[in-house]
Structure 1
Amino acid sequence: MVLKTFGWSFGVTAVGLAAAAFFWGWEAFVLVLMLSILEISLSFDNAVVNAGVLKKMNAFWQKIFLTIGILIAVFGMRLVFPVVIVAITAKVGPIEAVEVALDNPDRYEQLVTDAHPSIAAFGGMFLLMIFLDFIFDEREHKWIGWLERPLSRLGKVNGLSVCLALIVLLVVAVTIATGAHQHGGMHADKSGTVMLSGIAGLITYLIVGGLSGHFEDKLEEEEEREHEAEEAAKRAGKDPSMVGLAGKAAFFMFLYLEVLDASFSFDGVIGAFAITNHIFWMALGLGIGAMYVRSLTVYLVRQGTLDDYVYLEHGAHYAIGALAAILLITIKYEIHEVITGSIGVLLIATSFWSSVRRNRRLEAEGGGDDSGGGEGESKESEVTSGV
């Protein structure tokens, strides 16, 4: 089952890492490996969300999403989009960006370095909003209870995440951005550029979130109609399982999943810039991550149940928050890519281990669920507060 589902992902991983080592050496191998691990871990949340919606669709729409949808995610967002980002920020054509990366690596590095404040501000704000919206949301499970409980209560204030993100952007623009790093070791005042790019990142997040919410509302409406159709089928003595989500509901699901895929893909692309500026190393790591999105989605759908490692989502979002902070800091200060990649991997690995400990504790207590609040939630908080 595992080999059948993850076979292609394993194969792409082996080929990608081998290509990195063969063409660029062991440094590229290590960075692509770190980027791949980070992408695979961050893709887990995407796969869980995809599987939760995809399992309601009929076989035709499942196949459409797992073929056309993944092709869009792999080749559109993860391979083409990094080139577009560099082309826009460096003010060159996409073809020229690729040609410069191939024929004149020093010139390409100069373009990326000079464009880095724009990329970092745009991506840092986008990722920061994702982290803030997650940490301010009231959730059933809390990984670091002493921190997440008060923040979830603060999250009831409307627009708090946007206000806090704008405050962070203002502070970065008037402090860090005044001495932004440029090619050749020089520094320049990039306050205006950072402000504009950061606001653009915030607007982009709000648009993507708005589209996701719109499609989610449509999905709920269609599910209500679907439920009414099932009830009517039961009253008519027909098999309700024959009423499949194959019409508008499935179409809205497909659009909703594509928006979510684009959002998660964007996270990966922006996060990759915090680890490396090398366009081909990014493409390898992001491509490997996209393959695992598909494999994890298929695996979860075929298993029929979602994974019960409840803190992985927390670890992934804390990693996103760390990447956001690192991107904003690197506007002025250099941070080694290995450090950046290690922080994300460490956070996700810690959240996985916390999930394992929680599951073992629940099993020892008789298999009860501590997610419903009360005494169980208190015990969970005691365990996770020390993480």
Structure 2
Amino acid sequence: MSDTVYIRPVGLVSGPQSEHGNAIRLAGSMVYASRFAVILRRDGVVAERWLAAPDSMAEILGRLPDECAAEAETQWSNLALAQSPLELGARTIRLDQPQIMGILNATPDSFSDGGRFLDDREAGRDHAATMVEAGAAIIDIGGESTRPGAKALWEGDEIDRIVPAIEACVGMGAAVSIDTRKAAVMEAALAAGAHLVNDVSGLAYDPRSAEVVAQAGCPVVLMHAPGADGDDLHHGGEYSNVVFDVFDALRERRDAALSAGIEARNILLDPGIGFGKSLADNLALMNALPLFHALGHPLLLGVSRKRMIGALSNEAGAGERLGGSVALAVKGMDAGVQIIRVHDVAETVQARNVWRGLRDAALTDFADLPG
């Protein structure tokens, strides 16, 4: 018999005063949580589910089997853990508010830009500069398409694509992330000045990748994809419960990274929306995003222009998904996600700024309290 426990925030509020202080600040973000589902899963099936508030959590955790007690206490502590800033070159990226990561594709077959930034490197530099000026905290550069059906790319070609883009972005003072799953590409990117590795395979694809990241001492994003250890990231997307299964898989990849010598403070997690997941799976994960703070690391969310938006809007094409992209980005902000990866930086930054204004105002609004 195998028991696992999950503490999922299910009641989010704009400020602690609305709950007379009986709320926690979720992962050091601008989001507060006042009610939690404590879920006991036995042999893959939910066996018990209790509701708790901060002042009743200790009593609820006391009902868990002894073998789950330490994990439950860790998750409860993690939910209130303030995440440290990312130090990316000369830039310090604070994680106490949502930060925007801008996407720069150096690929010929990107679903969103059709390869125009690979064919015209000057246009790529201009686009990166525009994203930085619009408020992107990080520029994420990728040279290999990860869309469904895309073929794996030889690492030499990938390096040729990404190094000039990295050098250009570093030259303009941008914080740079490299979107790759290959150790040789990571090494070349870091040598060119990249500051963060964003691995869609969660360091599972290339046996050397964890060693490269550990030796570099750089931050790394571990994303969930069911086919992470093969060429097709989307293969094998079958789940008994997608939320719990992705949570468990991310915990496993996190633990493997720690065992490889990567420091906990350098690990970020991404649930991998759209990678080997159905529309129903993606919606379930979006609604469950606050749960993933229980793993104790900053979260990255990549939902920009993805197919789930088209599926919910009369099959709108990639270039017609701005409204849906911003809606999902704001959903991530409401869940306390620290980094939102997007194509449309200016629009998402504007949405973030308005969202933050509402949050700031909520913290100083005591009009609904007596006396």
TM superposition score normalised by structure 1: 0.27
**Highest Rg: 1 or 2?**
1
Q: Indicate the structure with greater strand content.
A: 2
Q: Indicate the structure with greater helix content.
A: 1
TM superposition score normalised by structure 2: 0.28
